């Protein structure tokens, strides 16, 4: 790469030059000018190359074979020489020598495996440390990796008629836990006390395949230890050079994993920064390809693109409700749910604003109750559900509604649906209490967008992620203790009221909603018949997937939607008369149970 002739300035910092694999940074013109430094075209020690530097953040390109930082309790940390041979130590020495200030500090934000290479950001100020840590924890950081996996992944994902087939892609989700041998593994707790692990989500996409290998792009929703390496091993395609996690070949004497893109909001200016480091050219050679001549503009990208449903069933949990079809049909169709009848359906109709002749697609329609409501209003509804038993029940009393069996995560592959949308795009789509039971939802939203007309709306209703997340929220009362088993122990009637002052009437204690977690995504099995199960009946279990509201907002935006309206609906139930009824009713009205989102297809 020729050396740039334009010198570094406060408005445009100089980019690295030298070898072909030197990283480049996008959006440098938007970086903060105050305190900006020119970038040395050579490395700053041990092969570490400086990509970006200002008073708040430092971005480097780490070579393979170098640890990010020595962890306390590890051999590297206990050995001074090894501790100094880390990317963190190199950056500290560089900043100390350059700024020549006592007390100069650098903070670690995230890490790369020793065997991997690529981009890492460090914080150079207190505010940067706090804000970058929160950005990583809240999944607002963009991270893209390139890797070479063993075996060829060549099958094509489904596409709409006339559309160019997309390369294979998918999402791998599991709970990871570290074993006594130090290796990470996916775990499935089978009994109380088992390690539940931590949720890990990896998006993958084939770039090229050949010579019994596949070049992949990988994007992380979470950043667990060895996440990509574990997921690719369990997917049946371990990374080349990764003997620790199942690799059987080592063609270029290194782990074939490189952190190629890193994007985040600058903590001082609020501007979006995006950095790029081309993967080693050898990655392309391993699959019989040549590196793109322009690795910035010519690189394949999955930013803002949908990930098609994985073709391997092991890559995603089965979220079908076919096994609970009979129970669900009885609940909604016969016994009726008061929330469903009195809150959810009326609210959904109000946001949808149905009109005669309107063409509506109902996602995960179940036994078709909402479609029949729409049909009665003159709407032309089409219901989609993956459960043949629920669709059979829906068709028994379909009216003017149409029902199809299909996976809403793969809408373009349903021939009748694609044909109907091509003849006349849908005016609107609905998802009533279903989206939190579907994973992944990225392909659902992208599929819906492809079937809607421009300006068409999508109405979603879910359990409120902040206040009603299963396993993370619960009711409680001021002044009541919680026993070691997690069950609230009520005090005597005399202790249930708190005197304000002598001679004044006591004030009733307040009921509150406890939230133990929110920002971290998760998944939980839900027993749908807890009462019957407690008396010996077989448990009827489904899965629910927790996502914070910002995740729904981001995924809708990436799919081409703009949120038009957001509403929070409380329960309308009332308590039986009693000393706590008034407070229970107040809390129930104040703390929402459902979240409704209306989004418009903007592009």
Task: Give me the mean pLDDT over the 318-339 stretch.
Answer: 48
Class of domain 322-464+544-576+593-601: alpha beta
* Residue 387 scores a pLDDT above 90: no
With CA atoms as reference, report the closest residue to 57 among 111, 100, 120.
120
For 138-267, strand residue ranges (E) read: 142-150, 169-178, 184-186, 198-210, 213-220, 257-265
20 touches 281 (CB < 8 A): yes
| Through-space distance between the first and last CA atoms of the chain, rounded to whole angstroms | 38
Alpha-helical (H) ranges within 2-49 are none
* Greatest alpha-carbon span in the chain: 88
Q: What is the CATH number of domain 24-151+206-301?
A: 3.30.2350.10
| Beta strands 117-123; 57-62: pairing state | antiparallel
Domain parsing of the chain, residue ranges? 24-151+206-301, 322-464+544-576+593-601
* Residue 115 scores a pLDDT above 90: yes
Convert the pLDDT of each residue in 478-491 to its tens digit.
876 544 334 444 44
Confidence class for position 31, pLDDT limits 50, 70, 90: very low
* Residue 432 scores a pLDDT above 90: yes
What is the DSSP code string of 354-384? --TT-EEEEET-TTSHHHHHHHHTT-EEEEE
Place of tokens 């509201």: 549
What is the DSSP code string of 543-590? EEEE--HHHHHHHHHHTTEEEEEEEEE-----PPSSTTHHHHHHHHHH
Convert the pLDDT of each residue in 447-506 to its tens digit.
999 999 999 999 999 999 999 998 889 999 987 654 433 444 444 343 344 444 444 444
Determine which helix (DSSP H) or strand (DSSP E) holds 99, and give its type and residue range: helix 87-99
* Residue 263 scores a pLDDT above 70: yes
Which CA distances in Å does 300 have to 141, 208, 217, 317? Answer: 19, 10, 8, 28
With CA atoms as reference, report the closest residue to 434 among 228, 271, 594.
594
Place of tokens 């910035």: 296
* Topology match between the domains 24-151+206-301 and 322-464+544-576+593-601: no
* Residue 64 scores a pLDDT above 50: yes
Residue 555: what are its φ and ψ, rounded to 5°? -70, -35
Convert the pLDDT of each residue in 4-15 to its tens digit.
333 333 333 333
Task: Give me the mean pLDDT over the 319-335 stretch.
Answer: 43
Q: Which of 137-141, 290-294, 419-423, 552-556 has the lowest mean pLDDT?
A: 290-294
Q: According to the model, what pLDDT value does residue 98 have?
A: 84
- Structure tokens that stand for 375 in this block: 């049909």
Ranked by mean pLDDT, the top range of 94-108, 284-298, 577-591 is 577-591
Task: Give me the mean pLDDT over the 227-241 stretch.
Answer: 96
Tally the C-alpha atoms within 13 A of residue 263's C-alpha that lie toward its C-beta: 16
Higher pLDDT, 103 or 410: 410
Convert the pLDDT of each residue in 517-543 to its tens digit.
998 888 877 665 566 656 666 666 677
Alpha-helical (H) ranges within 267-361 are 281-285, 325-329, 338-339, 345-352
Q: According to the model, what pLDDT value does residue 166 have?
A: 61
Determine which helix (DSSP H) or strand (DSSP E) holds 584, and give its type and residue range: helix 581-590
Q: According to the model, what pLDDT value does residue 493 have?
A: 42
Place of tokens 């043949």: 388
Q: According to the model, what pLDDT value does residue 171 have?
A: 86
Alpha-helical (H) ranges within 202-305 are 227-234, 281-285
Percent of the chain with pLDDT over 70: 73
Rg (CA), the chain: 27
Q: Which residues, listed in sequence order, are joined to residue 359 by a DSSP beta bridge?
A: 380
* Residue 225 scores a pLDDT above 90: yes
The rounded mean pLDDT for the chain is 79
Q: According to the model, what pLDDT value does residue 507 have?
A: 52
* Residue 367 scores a pLDDT above 80: yes
């Amino acid at each position: 790469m020729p050396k740039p002739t334009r010198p570094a300035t406060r408005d445009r910092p100089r980019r690295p030059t030298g070898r072909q694999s030197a990283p480049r940074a996008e959006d440098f013109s938007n970086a903060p000018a105050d305190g900006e430094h020119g970038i040395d075209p050579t490395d700053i020690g041990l092969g570490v190359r400086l990509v970006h530097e200002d008073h708040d953040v430092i971005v480097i390109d780490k070579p393979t074979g170098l640890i990010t930082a020595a962890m306390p309790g590890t051999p590297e940390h206990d050995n001074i020489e090894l501790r100094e041979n880390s990317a963190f130590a190199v950056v500290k020495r560089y900043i100390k020598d350059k700024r020549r200030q006592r007390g100069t500090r650098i903070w670690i934000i995230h890490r790369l495996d020793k065997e991997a290479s690529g981009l890492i950001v460090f914080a150079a100020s207190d505010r940067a440390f706090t804000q970058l840590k929160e950005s990583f924890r809240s999944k607002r950081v963009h991270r893209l990796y390139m890797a070479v996996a063993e075996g060829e992944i060549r099958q094509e994902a489904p596409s709409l008629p006339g559309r160019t087939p997309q390369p294979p892609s998918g999402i791998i989700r599991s709970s990871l836990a570290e074993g006594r041998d130090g290796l990470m593994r996916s775990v499935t707790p089978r009994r109380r006390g088992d390690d539940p692990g931590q949720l890990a989500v990896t998006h993958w996409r084939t770039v090229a395949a050949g010579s019994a290998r596949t070049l992949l792009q990988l994007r992380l929703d979470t950043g667990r230890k060895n996440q990509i390496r574990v997921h690719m091993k369990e997917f049946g395609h371990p990374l080349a050079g990764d003997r620790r996690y199942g690799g059987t070949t080592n063609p270029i004497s290194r782990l074939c994993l490189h952190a190629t893109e890193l994007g985040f909001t600058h903590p001082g200016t609020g501007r979006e920064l995006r950095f790029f480091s081309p993967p080693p050219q050898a990655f392309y050679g391993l699959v019989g390809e040549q590196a793109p001549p322009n690795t910035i503009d010519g690189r394949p990208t999955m930013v803002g693109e949908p990930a098609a449903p994985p073709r391997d069933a092991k890559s995603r949990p089965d979220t079908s409700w076919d096994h609970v079809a009979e129970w669900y049909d009885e609940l909604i169709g016969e016994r009726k749910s008061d929330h469903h009848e009195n809150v959810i359906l009326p609210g959904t109709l109000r946001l949808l604003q149905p009109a005669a002749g309107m063409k509506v697609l109902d996602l995960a329609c179940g036994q078709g109750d909402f479609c029949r409501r729409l049909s009665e209003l003159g709407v032309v509804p089409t219901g989609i559900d993956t459960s043949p038993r629920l669709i059979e029940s829906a068709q028994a009393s379909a009216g003017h509604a149409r029902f199809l069996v299909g996976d809403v995560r793969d809408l373009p592959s349903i021939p009748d649906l694609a044909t109907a949308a091509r003849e006349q795009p849908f005016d609107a789509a609905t998802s009533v209490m279903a989206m939190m039971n579907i994973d992944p939802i990225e392909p659902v939203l992208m599929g819906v967008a492809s079937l809607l007309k421009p300006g068409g709306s999508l109405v979603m209703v879910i359990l409120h992620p902040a206040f009603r997340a299963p396993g993370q929220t619960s009711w409680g009362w001021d002044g009541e203790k919680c026993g070691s088993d997690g069950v609230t122990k009520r005090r005597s009637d005399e202790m249930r009221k708190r005197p304000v002052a002598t001679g004044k009437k006591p004030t009733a204690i307040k009921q509150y909603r406890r939230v133990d977690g929110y920002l971290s995504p998760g998944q939980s099995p839900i027993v749908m018949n807890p009462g019957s199960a407690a008396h010996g009946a077989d448990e009827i279990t489904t899965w629910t997937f927790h996502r914070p509201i910002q995740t729904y907002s981001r995924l809708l935006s990436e799919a081409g939607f703009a949120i038009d309206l957001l509403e929070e609906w409380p329960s309308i139930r009332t308590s039986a008369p009693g000393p706590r009824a008034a407070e229970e009713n107040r809390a129930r009205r104040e703390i929402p149970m459902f979240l409704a989102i209306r989004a418009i297809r903007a592009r």
